[in-house]
Amino acid sequence: MTMAGTTTLLLVAAALLAASCGAWEVTVDDAVVAPLIHALRPLLGSGRHAGVACDSWRLGVEAYNVRDWKTVPASCEGYVGHYMLGSHYRRDSKVVVDQAIAYVDSLKLAGNGKEVWVFDVDETTVSNLPYYSRHGFGATPFNVTSFNAYAQEGSAPALPETKRLYNKLLSVGIKPVILTGRAEYLRASTATNLGRQGYAGWMNLLLKAPGFKGSSLAFKSSERQKLQDAGYIIVGNIGDQWSDILGAPEGARTFKLPDPMYYIG
């Protein structure tokens, strides 16, 4: 490849990383989308962080072996960006949701209105790629003020795979419960965002009360306990963070969606 060709590909890479607002609007078809992204990956390589390849680092994150990290390694920004914008992220999400739907099909439901499924919001029901594409795909420190300003816009696109599961649950009579670590003052914008993206018919939208000081794991497990104490049966629980799905009562079955952009404990 000539130097001019390499420069052109790098410029295209920058444009791809900056223009993620429409990332979920593109049909994930390797014949259409993937070749360009795949052509860029050899230029960027896997990247290395403290001697560990970025794909291995991501595996450690998803397996919950790498914990308590603050930012994506700077050398892995390009790798994470291409993973999130390309077909790989969608394929990984599809595997998770296919398993969740197979589980739903195996259930013998009581049909008494007490069976619920818990959903997280960020990187679970909706995608914040339009925000994170402007903040290094998690390679820059998280700024709660700027993120909350973005969340108040209510513009995050739906994750198509999660929406497929959501609609499946509604069709069989399982009630979705939305449980998010977002602050209570974001209730209106969060509800509006979910509605705009076609998430309707949920039973509850649960957010952190003002002044809550505990961890996300403690908050979410306590909210699930309240559901259980009220007589509901949590047949499923899905989120992108381990803190979404750990902590009793977790639910009868948990599902972890991929997210190498940030860690919440």
Instruction: Say if residues 64 and 264 touch (Cβ distance below 8 Å).
Output: no
Each residue's pLDDT tens digit, 113-153 = 999 999 999 999 999 999 999 999 999 999 999 999 999 99
Structure confidence at residue 137 (pLDDT): 93
d(CA 93, CA 90): 5
Structure confidence at residue 52 (pLDDT): 64
d(CA 199, CA 254): 20
Structure confidence at residue 86 (pLDDT): 82
Give the distance from CA 131 to its chain's centroid. 13
- Nearest-10 crossing angle of helices 144-153, 187-196: 50
Instruction: For residue 221, give every residue at least 6 positions away whose Cβ sits within 8 Å of its Cβ, in sequence order, or none.
Output: 246, 247, 248, 249, 250
Each residue's pLDDT tens digit, 169-186 = 999 999 999 999 999 999
Domain residue spans of the chain = 3-87, 93-256
**Is the preceding peptide bond at 42 cis, omega within 30 degrees of 0?**
no
d(CA 199, CA 55): 33
pTM recorded for the entire structure: 0.82
DSSP collapsed to 3 states, 63-126: CCCCCCCCCCCHHHHHHHHHHHHCHHHHHHHHHHHHHHHHHHHHCCCCCCCCEEEEECCECCCE
Structure confidence at residue 19 (pLDDT): 38
Task: Kindly report the average pLDDT of the chain as a whole number.
Answer: 86
* Residues of the chain where predicted confidence (pLDDT) is lower than 50: 2-50
SS3 49: strand
User: Which amino acid type is present at position 40?
Assistant: L
Structure confidence at residue 142 (pLDDT): 96
In words, the CATH class of domain 93-256 is: alpha beta
